[in-house]
Structure 1
Amino acid sequence: MEAAPCISQIAGLLAEPKRIAMLWALMDGSAKSSEELARLAGLTPASANAHLARLIGSGLLRAEARRGRRLFRVAAADVSHAIDALASTTLASAARASPDAPLPVLAAPPALRQARLCHGHLGGELAAGLYARMRAAGWIERYEQRLDITVKGAHRLASLGIFTQALASPLACDCFDWSQQHPHLGGTLGAGLLQLFLQSNWVSLVNESQALQINAVGHAEIARLAANE
């Protein structure tokens, strides 16, 4: 129980709405000035600087000088992971509390909406579109609550260098995350596809964030997967 006070200290910092608003604005890996963060969080410059000082002092943010300006960014990837987990838990707990109610929409920075890391696999709009195409093309089929890779899907994936028989369980599952209202592919197959995209240099990580940057070749190649079948 000795660790509990340390956990509560960080939790208390993240619980303040204005501070989490500034951290949320930096989740895409960007660096922003105190003036910009103050405007985004609805704070006066003096209040923003006070909050930023606490976030830097706690190790959640870091400051850097760029062309005479002082900019702020997330200090490390674990900070982004923690905020991402809180966002996911927000939606999951809302779904458990009111199963028939629509889920709240968490407005994400555009880079996170497009493509992001989600529990070790690809999330965001790009992932949801790919998953929909894979199901429509017959690569994946649902049997009650279970997802299975079809013979056709296994053959197509093998041609990409992903051998489903070598992957651990769970191979495929629906995954919902806070940046999308539609599911994307989870499981070891989802992780394998992300590794393929990274190794092919189609996507790349953005600083210490959850955001993924997709280049032009990556957009074209991923859009071709499971399309027109």
Structure 2
Amino acid sequence: MTIKTVSAPANANTISAIAALIGDPARANILLALMGGKALTASELAYCAGVTPQTASGHLAKLVDGGLVSVEKQGRHRYHRLASASVAEAFESLSGLAATGPRRHRTTGPKDAAMRQARTCYDHMAGRLAVAITDALSSRQLIIIEDRSGLITDEGKSFFAGLGLDLDPKAKSARPLCRTCLDWSERRMHLGGRLGASLLQRSIECNWVRPGNDSRSLTITRGGERGFQDLFGIPVEVLMLQRKA
């Protein structure tokens, strides 16, 4: 007999505890750095947070204990990453709330245009490009979105198979096959789940997008402009914005 584990419902104490973990600026910067999907060392995260390695280690211990960050050891190094896609989605939503806050608290910079155009959100795409892809797939009824959940239609299964995506619905995975994530810069939904992750991976393999070395931003290549326009029908003006910026 299989016994299912049921998570305890959230209450004010657990919610405030998670909020306190995220509420520290250094820990928030650590989580922001990990939103790129890469596993980073404590030293790298210390640099991102603007604190000493010793201070960063203390913050990381709290984030690991709170279930927001996981750690794995390889040789002499310990690498940290977000504990799950759910953490990334929650942080993306919080970023959207922060972006609508008082203007004096908003940060701007030269990377804003690139980040808004296309970026990683943990292991899937976000920004104008991701929202445009989601809209295109939905309008062609390749996917059906209801609230935060998504369904891949029979036409969609054929389409994604043609792209070389392995989206076996019977595959054992705790990750939803198709769901949406609220985009902080566009205030609209982009694709997450296994489908969103597979689309990003395939786009990188096809050299349609190139990840930045020190940023979450994604560069849309010339080949990507053609690919996204031909396969998804993305308007050329959406794809050209990054180059103009």
Which segments of 5 or more consecutive residues in structure 1 lack a partner in the other structure? 1-7, 29-51, 61-76, 96-101
Note the 1:34-49 alignment, pairs <5 A: none
Amino-acid identity (%): 28
Contact 1:114 1:124 in 2 (8 A): yes
How far residue 55 of structure 1 moved from its aligned partner, in angstroms, is 3.0
Distance 1:196 1:57, change over 3 A: same
Aligned position for 1:147: 150
Aligned position for 1:55: 50
Contact 1:122 1:191 in 2 (8 A): yes
Aligned position for 2:125: 122
CA distance in 1 between partners of 2:142 and 2:176 (Å) = 16
Contact 2:89 2:182 in 1 (8 A): no
Q: Quick one: which of 26, 48, 52 aligns to 1:14?
A: 26
CA distance in 1 between partners of 2:216 and 2:101 (Å) = 20
Distance 1:104 1:188, change over 3 A: farther
Q: Quick one: which of 186, 201, 204 aligns to 1:195?
A: 201
Contact 1:117 1:123 in 2 (8 A): yes
Q: C-alpha deviations, 1:91-113, integer Å up to 9, x for none?
A: 47x59xxxxxx954966611100
Matched, 1:132 2:135: yes
SS in structure 2 opposite 1:111?
helix
Aligned AA (1:185): L
Q: Quick one: which of 157, 175, 200 aligns to 2:160?
A: 157
**Which protein is bigger by CA-based radius of gyration?**
1
CA distance in 2 between partners of 1:160 and 1:201 (Å) = 14
How far residue 144 of structure 1 moved from its aligned partner, in angstroms, is 6.3
**Alignment length, in residue pairs?**
164
How far residue 188 of structure 1 moved from its aligned partner, in angstroms, is 0.4
Aligned position for 1:90: 94
Contact 2:208 2:221 in 1 (8 A): yes
Q: C-alpha deviations, 1:35-74, integer Å up to 9, x for none?
A: xxxxxxxxxxxxxxxxx9x9375599xxxxxxxxxxxxxx
Aligned AA (2:197): A
Pick 1 or 2: higher relative contact order, CA cutoff 8 A, min separation 6.
1
Question: Which segments of structure 1 move beyond 4 Å, counting only runs of 4 or more?
Answer: 56-60, 84-87, 102-108
Distance 1:12 1:153, change over 3 A: closer
Q: CA RMSD in A?
A: 4.2
How far residue 124 of structure 1 moved from its aligned partner, in angstroms, is 0.6
Q: C-alpha deviations, 1:121-174, integer Å up to 9, x for none?
A: 011100000000000001001356631100000001101101322664401111
How far residue 201 of structure 1 moved from its aligned partner, in angstroms, is 1.1
Q: If the length of structure 1 is used for normalisation, what is the TM-score?
A: 0.56
Q: If the length of structure 2 is used for normalisation, what is the TM-score?
A: 0.53
